[in-house]
């Protein structure tokens, strides 16, 4: 740091501020002198404001406070939303044949009091919404620049603050119009822009974002005092008549912006500067017209030309004109040759349409080009469709994803995300050109958003269809109206993907060719063209895109080249567009009319599973590592919510893999009869311990390995082996009992039609195709009659007390310390254990109306030989039959408890069940609860009484 002057350090402070020396301050030891009397006066900002009211809201225009060096700068304020718009123009001469107008719209996060979440904490590249808002500003102001004005102009609209209630896009357009009026740039404004909504049939001017959620119309309209310049519509199948009423109201409200801008320009506006205009001289035009007019007429009157054949013929004519001009040495005409030839083409085409009503390709004015529709052209995709109209061809595909795949939006207004996206791509090959791919293209974003708006009215609500939907439109060939072809192809692709859209949406583009009266400058004659070609779009006046269903319009967009056209002509275009739309819809419905049922192997699957937050944390793992691993291994997407998992898989096989992994990690409610996948963790002499269902442990007894005798457990299973096992109950030690053989049919026994719902999850799955219910054949405990208790034990509707799961080590210690005698299951289940209880309960049999208590017979085959019925739960009915009382030849009165395919399951009382097999000539006219006299004829190998009808005689 530079040291202070020693002399100044000795001077007293008051001496340094003495006005005679005009000292003002000392900074870092330096002297500072105050200015003269004329420079010390504070200059106040000269600001000018205009305040007016639109609808029920007060709007203020202010200039002179911000961006004073700009050619024109205006701040427009509506309540707590402020937008600054500035315009500047290049100083040099314009050596080009087009207007290089750039419109940038910016929404920085400070406008809503938020710091950007990016790594650099700065705003990045322009977002899609910023590009769309820039287009809304650009489209109405561009036609008003004078012909031949090719100087570079840049418009920058910045949102200074936003209350989140009013969309700044319309405010920015009006502020831009006011800034152009204040500048010295020649411009044919001002314009007014307004947004119109409709709620319950009533139009609303400048609706808030909350009101737009309830509105069936979102109309943005821009125009001058007597003409329309731009229209942008999103609607819920509004009729053409109602849309016309909205347009007429919008025009009356939009012109209210014009007078305040004129008054502000009168106060603070600059005088318009004389810019050099690049106009074609009459001499050049006459020379080019004489050479090229007749050959151009010959090309345009031949309908056999295709797009590229016609273009090649016109290029040859241009080369012929160029050779003549080179021979004559006319350098001035050579510089503007392409512009002059294009002007001759435009004149020839327009005169022929106005005078003869004939178009370039020989069609009538209201005729639609030949159509071709094909749904499902790429079968492996979720949805696909190919749509062709004339030489325009578009391929649309549909991809379904998880709810978390929704696009996140960071705008000052509107929703934070959107689950439906339509992306439009215009590759160079579609027009036989060489170009670069990549980057966000303003035109592509605009066309894709228009088609996206067209579908919003017919999409199913999120509650009915939770998938995220992406439609991708690839233009294969372009000869006009590719955005409307995207609407048609996208509608078929959505139905082909099985998305329950209410009905088809189609779109068509309408053009206009007009003739002006030289004396008044007004339109003297005009023709409306349906389904315009690319050439007619280029040489015509407007491109009016209208999309909708049979019921009404869902989206519309109007762009034009002249400085506005009357609203009456715009409204007249709605009727031919409606007729053409119905014709296109008829062809689309012939190809596909309803959403297809996608049950093939390539269709995506979605399941929503309910778990507690602890279970979800186990699934996610540290830093989400476990969840990421599952996604990488299976290719599925897992979305995590509060107590909810959403799984989206490419197909059913992937879904099964994901659900199996989730079940193994998180587990589900354990049910008797449920099928689970487990891994053998330890092998003992008497069986194997298996880890399954999210860390639970069960015992696979040696007797449950196979229907054949097994001498050693290790001969059948090994540590680390993955098995599919059935939960069959709980043993006397408190362990969950698992069975391997129960998952296979019992050999030598005729199987019944009974099935068990194995993997019944407690989760609620929103897609039936992703159901985890597995049908398994009855096991050994369900033979032709099955185990009398098995059908009841597999019902998941009732519960027994929480079970105790013991590890293999705990069982080993207890076996060494004491030998547990065989006791009845009821006593064992009720016994308290010091071990940690399980978080899940085993579902047992439902309560039967014929039983007053929840009696459960342990019907497993965990012991070899007949199972004594002393293991059954004891009841209070002392008069009922017990297992000890029952012998061969005992006659009892039994009730029909279950009716099977081969016989009855009979309730003998006291918790004892028996089976009765049908014989020939036996009557089967029994119902559940009927009593019958039976005699015990034998016992099965499991100790189950086999009964027959008693002969009372």
Q: Which of 101-105, 330-334, 852-856 has the lowest mean pLDDT?
A: 852-856
Asked whether the beta carbons of 524 and 547 are under 8 A apart, the reply is no
pLDDT tens by residue, 494-542: 999 999 999 999 999 999 999 998 888 889 999 999 999 999 999 999 9
Peptide bond into 510 cis (omega under 30): no
Other beta carbons within 10 Å of 851: 16
Residue 332 has a pLDDT of 85
| Distance, CA of 944 to CA of 915 (rounded, Å) | 7
Structure tokens at 248: 């007429």
Residue 781: partners with Cβ closer than 8 Å, 6 or more residues away: 728, 742, 787, 790, 859, 860, 861, 942
User: Averaging pLDDT over each range in 23-27, 353-357, 758-762, which range is the top one?
Assistant: 353-357
- On whether both 584 and 500 belong to a single domain, the answer is yes
Angle at which helix 282-300 crosses helix 307-328, to 10 degrees, equals 150
Domain boundary among 642, 666, 690: 666
- On whether both 541 and 635 belong to a single domain, the answer is no
Q: Which of 11-20, 145-154, 573-582 has the lowest mean pLDDT?
A: 11-20
Burial class (CB in 10 A: 0-12, 13-18, 19+), 249: middle
581-599 average pLDDT score: 91
Distance of CA 601 to the CA centre of its chain: 22
Q: How many independent structural domains does the chain possess? A: 6
| Distance, CA of 171 to CA of 620 (rounded, Å) | 46
Query: 613: domain CATH number?
Result: 3.30.1370.10
Backbone angles phi and psi of 181, in degrees to 5: -65, -35
User: Averaging pLDDT over each range in 193-207, 512-526, 714-728, which range is the top one?
Assistant: 193-207
Of the candidates 238, 281, 78, 88, which has an alpha carbon nearest to the alpha carbon of residue 163? 78
Model confidence at 924, pLDDT cuts 50, 70, 90, reads low
Backbone angles phi and psi of 807, in degrees to 5: -80, 170
Domain assignment of residue 391, yes or no:
yes
Structure tokens at 583: 């014709």
Domain assignment of residue 365, yes or no:
no
Backbone angles phi and psi of 27, in degrees to 5: -125, 115
Residue 244 has a pLDDT of 96
Comparison of pLDDT for 158 and 894, the residue scoring more: 158
Comparison of pLDDT for 905 and 901, the residue scoring more: 905
Q: Which of 165-179, 474-488, 565-579, 897-911 has the lowest mean pLDDT?
A: 897-911
Query: 702: domain CATH number?
Result: 2.40.50.140
Structure tokens at 78: 């509506």
pLDDT tens by residue, 230-245: 999 999 999 999 999 9
- On whether both 445 and 352 belong to a single domain, the answer is no
pLDDT at 771 over 70: no
- On whether both 65 and 208 belong to a single domain, the answer is yes
Model confidence at 602, pLDDT cuts 50, 70, 90, reads low
24-42 average pLDDT score: 43
Domain assignment of residue 55, yes or no:
yes
Model confidence at 883, pLDDT cuts 50, 70, 90, reads low
Domain assignment of residue 751, yes or no:
no
Other beta carbons within 10 Å of 580: 22
Asked whether the beta carbons of 191 and 223 are under 8 A apart, the reply is yes
Residue 116 has a pLDDT of 87
Domain extent for 688: 674-743
- On whether both 678 and 660 belong to a single domain, the answer is no
Structure tokens at 835: 């071990």
| Distance, CA of 176 to CA of 182 (rounded, Å) | 10
Bridging pattern class, strands 420-425 and 891-899: unpaired
Comparison of pLDDT for 939 and 134, the residue scoring more: 134
Residue 65 has a pLDDT of 92
- On whether both 100 and 180 belong to a single domain, the answer is yes
Residue 558 has a pLDDT of 95
pLDDT at 412 over 90: no
Q: Using alpha carbons only, what angle is made at residue 405 by residues 400 and 407, rounded to the nearest 5 degrees?
A: 110
Comparison of pLDDT for 31 and 832, the residue scoring more: 31
| Distance, CA of 649 to CA of 622 (rounded, Å) | 23
Angle at which helix 442-455 crosses helix 482-496, to 10 degrees, equals 50
| Distance, CA of 80 to CA of 162 (rounded, Å) | 6
Cross-strand pairs, 75: 62, 84
| Distance, CA of 92 to CA of 102 (rounded, Å) | 17
Domain assignment of residue 201, yes or no:
yes
Asked whether the beta carbons of 256 and 192 are under 8 A apart, the reply is yes
- On whether both 553 and 700 belong to a single domain, the answer is no
Asked whether the beta carbons of 599 and 377 are under 8 A apart, the reply is no
Q: For a pLDDT cut of 70, what percent of the chain falls above it?
A: 78
| Sole residue written with tokens 């185990």 | 787
Structure tokens at 460: 């199913």
- On whether both 646 and 681 belong to a single domain, the answer is no
Model confidence at 787, pLDDT cuts 50, 70, 90, reads very low
| Distance, CA of 192 to CA of 665 (rounded, Å) | 62
Query: 451: domain CATH number?
Result: 3.30.230.70
Backbone angles phi and psi of 254, in degrees to 5: -70, -35
Model confidence at 919, pLDDT cuts 50, 70, 90, reads low
**What secondary structure letter does DSSP report for 942?**
T
Model confidence at 473, pLDDT cuts 50, 70, 90, reads very high
Of the candidates 685, 683, 676, which has an alpha carbon nearest to the alpha carbon of residue 717? 683
583-594 average pLDDT score: 95
Of the candidates 423, 419, 424, 422, which has an alpha carbon nearest to the alpha carbon of residue 408? 419
Of the candidates 105, 104, 108, which has an alpha carbon nearest to the alpha carbon of residue 161? 108
- On whether both 459 and 523 belong to a single domain, the answer is yes
Residue 89: partners with Cβ closer than 8 Å, 6 or more residues away: 71, 151, 152, 153, 154, 183, 185, 275
Q: What share of the chain is helix, strand, coil (3-state, %, to 5)?
A: 30, 25, 45
pTM flag (> 0.85): no
Q: Using alpha carbons only, what angle is made at residue 167 by residues 161 and 169, rounded to the nearest 5 degrees?
A: 90
Q: Is 910 left (phi over 0), alpha (psi -120 to 50) or beta?
A: left
| Distance, CA of 476 to CA of 427 (rounded, Å) | 8
- On whether both 161 and 300 belong to a single domain, the answer is no
Residue 841 has a pLDDT of 39
For residue 540, the number of C-alpha atoms closer than 13 Å in the C-beta half-sphere is: 27
Bridging pattern class, strands 605-610 and 687-692: unpaired
Structure tokens at 718: 């090994």
Domain boundary among 666, 689, 706: 666
Q: Using alpha carbons only, what angle is made at residue 938 by residues 934 and 939, rounded to the nearest 5 degrees?
A: 110
- Classify the C-alpha dihedral 360-361-365-368 as positive or negative: negative
- On whether both 393 and 341 belong to a single domain, the answer is no
Residue 284: partners with Cβ closer than 8 Å, 6 or more residues away: 330, 332, 333, 336, 340
Residue 813 has a pLDDT of 55
Model confidence at 803, pLDDT cuts 50, 70, 90, reads very low
User: Averaging pLDDT over each range in 112-121, 164-173, 853-862, which range is the top one?
Assistant: 164-173
Query: 327: domain CATH number?
Result: 1.10.10
Domain assignment of residue 876, yes or no:
no
- The per-residue DSSP string of 535-595 comes to HHHHHSSEEEEEEE-SS-EEEEEEEESSS-B-HHHHHHTHHHHHHHHHHHHHHHHHH--S-
Residue 885: partners with Cβ closer than 8 Å, 6 or more residues away: none
897-909 average pLDDT score: 78
Residue 66 has a pLDDT of 93
Domain assignment of residue 211, yes or no:
yes
Asked whether the beta carbons of 855 and 873 are under 8 A apart, the reply is yes
3-state secondary structure of 804: strand
Residue 882 has a pLDDT of 61
Asked whether the beta carbons of 73 and 84 are under 8 A apart, the reply is yes
Domain assignment of residue 824, yes or no:
no
Residue 881 has a pLDDT of 60
Structure tokens at 521: 């400058």
Comparison of pLDDT for 544 and 464, the residue scoring more: 544
Other beta carbons within 10 Å of 535: 21
- On whether both 99 and 211 belong to a single domain, the answer is yes
pLDDT at 71 over 80: yes
Asked whether the beta carbons of 182 and 269 are under 8 A apart, the reply is yes
3-state secondary structure of 672: coil
| Distance, CA of 181 to CA of 161 (rounded, Å) | 24
Model confidence at 640, pLDDT cuts 50, 70, 90, reads confident
831-858 average pLDDT score: 34
Residue 858 has a pLDDT of 33
Domain boundary among 591, 616, 632: 591
| Distance, CA of 815 to CA of 105 (rounded, Å) | 79
Question: What is the SS3 assignment for 599-623?
Answer: CCCCCCEEEEEECCHHHHHHHHCHH
């Amino acid at each position: 740091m530079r040291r202070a002057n020693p002399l100044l350090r000795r001077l007293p402070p008051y001496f340094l501020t003495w006005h005679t020396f005009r000292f003002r301050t000392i900074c870092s030891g330096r002297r500072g002198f105050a200015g003269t009397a004329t420079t010390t006066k504070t200059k106040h900002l000269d600001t000018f404001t205009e305040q007016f009211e639109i609808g029920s809201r007060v709007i203020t225009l202010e200039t002179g406070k911000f961006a004073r060096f700009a050619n024109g700068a205006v701040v427009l304020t509506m309540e707590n939303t402020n937008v600054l718009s500035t315009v500047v123009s290049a100083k040099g001469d314009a050596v080009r044949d087009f207007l290089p107008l750039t419109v940038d719209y910016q929404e920085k996060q400070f406008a809503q009091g938020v710091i950007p979440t990016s790594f650099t904490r700065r705003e990045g590249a322009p977002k899609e919404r910023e590009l769309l808002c820039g287009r809304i500003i650009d489209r109405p102001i561009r036609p008003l620049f004078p012909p031949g004005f090719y100087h570079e102009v840049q418009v920058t609209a910045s949102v200074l603050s936003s209350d989140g209630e009013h969309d700044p896009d319309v405010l920015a357009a009006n502020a831009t119009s006011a800034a152009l009026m204040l500048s010295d740039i020649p411009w044919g404004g001002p314009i007014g822009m307004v947004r119109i909504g409709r709620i319950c049939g009533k139009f609303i001017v400048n609706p808030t974002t909350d009101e737009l959620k309830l509105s069936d119309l979102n109309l943005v309209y821009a125009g001058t005092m007597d003409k329309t310049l731009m229209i942008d519509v999103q609607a819920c199948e509004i009729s053409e008549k109602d849309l016309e009423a909205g347009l007429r109201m919008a025009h009356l409200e939009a012109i209210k912006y014009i007078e305040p801008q004129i008054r502000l320009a009168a106060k603070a506006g600059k005088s318009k500067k004389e810019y050099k205009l690049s106009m074609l001289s009459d001499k050049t035009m006459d020379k080019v017209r004489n050479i090229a007019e007749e050959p151009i007429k010959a090309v345009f009157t031949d309908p056999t030309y295709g797009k590229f054949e016609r273009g090649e013929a016109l290029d040859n004519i241009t080369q012929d004109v160029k050779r003549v001009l080179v021979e004559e040495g006319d350098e001035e005409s050579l510089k503007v040759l392409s512009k002059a030839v294009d002007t001759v083409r435009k004149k020839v085409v327009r005169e022929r349409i106005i005078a003869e009503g004939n178009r370039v390709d020989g069609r009538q004015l209201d005729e639609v080009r030949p159509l071709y529709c094909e749904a499902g052209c790429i079968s492996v995709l979720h949805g696909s469709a190919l749509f062709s109209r004339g030489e325009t061809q578009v391929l649309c595909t549909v991809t379904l994803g998880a709810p978390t795949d929704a696009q996140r939006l960071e705008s000052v207004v509107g929703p934070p995300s959107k689950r439906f996206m339509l992306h439009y791509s215009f590759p160079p090959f579609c027009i036989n050109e060489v170009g670069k791919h990549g980057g966000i293209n303003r035109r592509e974003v605009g066309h894709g958003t228009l088609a996206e708006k067209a579908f919003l009215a017919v999409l199913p609500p999120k509650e009915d269809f939770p998938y995220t939907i992406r439609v991708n439109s690839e233009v294969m060939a372009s000869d006009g109206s590719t955005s409307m072809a995207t609407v048609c192809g996208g509608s078929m692709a959505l139905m082909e993907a099985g998305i329950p859209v209410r009905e088809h949406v189609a779109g068509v583009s309408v053009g206009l060719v007009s003739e002006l009266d030289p004396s008044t400058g007004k339109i003297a004659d005009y023709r409306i063209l349906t389904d315009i070609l690319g050439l007619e779009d280029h040489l015509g006046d407007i491109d009016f895109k209208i999309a909708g269903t049979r019921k009404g319009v869902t989206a519309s967009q109007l762009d034009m080249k002249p400085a506005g056209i009357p609203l009456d002509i715009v409204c007249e275009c709605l009727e031919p567009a409606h007729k053409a739309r119905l014709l296109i819809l008829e062809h689309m419905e012939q190809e596909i009319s309803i959403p297809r049922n996608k049950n093939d192997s390539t269709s995506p699957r979605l399941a929503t599973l309910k778990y507690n937050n602890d279970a979800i944390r186990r699934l996610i793992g540290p830093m989400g590592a476990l969840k990421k691993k599952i996604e990488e291994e299976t290719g599925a997407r897992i979305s995590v919510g509060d107590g909810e998992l959403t799984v989206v898989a490419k197909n059913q096989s992937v879904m099964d893999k994901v659900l199996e992994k989730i079940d193994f990690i998180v587990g589900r409610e354990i049910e008797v009869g449920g099928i689970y996948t487990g891994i053998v963790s330890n092998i003992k002499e008497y069986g194997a311990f298996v880890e399954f269902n999210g860390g639970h442990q069960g015992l696979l007894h040696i007797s449950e390995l196979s229907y054949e005798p097994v001498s050693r457990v290790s001969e059948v299973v090994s540590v680390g082996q993955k098995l599919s096992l059935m939960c069959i109950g709980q043993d006397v030690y408190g362990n969950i009992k698992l069975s391997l053989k129960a998952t296979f049919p019992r050999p030598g026994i005729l199987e019944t039609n009974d099935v068990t719902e194995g993997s019944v999850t407690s989760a609620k799955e929103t897609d039936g195709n992703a159901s985890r219910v597995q049908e398994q054949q009855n096991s050994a405990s369900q033979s032709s009659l099955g185990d009398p208790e098995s059908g009841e034990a597999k019902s998941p509707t009732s519960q027994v007390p929480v079970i105790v799961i013991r590890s293999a080590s705990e069982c080993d210690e207890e076996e060494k310390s004491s030998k547990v005698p065989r006791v009845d299951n009821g006593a064992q289940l009720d016994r308290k254990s010091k071990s940690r209880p399980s978080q899940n309960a085993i579902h047992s049999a439902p309560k039967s109306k014929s039983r007053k208590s929840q009696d459960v017979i342990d019907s497993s085959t965990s012991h070899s030989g007949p199972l004594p019925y002393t293991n059954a739960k004891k009841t209070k009915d002392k008069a009922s039959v017990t297992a000890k009382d029952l012998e061969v030849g005992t006659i009892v009165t039994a009730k029909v408890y279950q009716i099977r395919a081969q016989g009855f399951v009979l309730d003998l009382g006291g918790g004892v069940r028996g089976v009765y097999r049908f014989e020939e000539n036996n009557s089967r006219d029994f119902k559940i609860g009927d009593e019958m006299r039976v005699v015990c004829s034998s016992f099965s190998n499991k100790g189950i009484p086999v009964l027959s009808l008693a002969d009372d005689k």
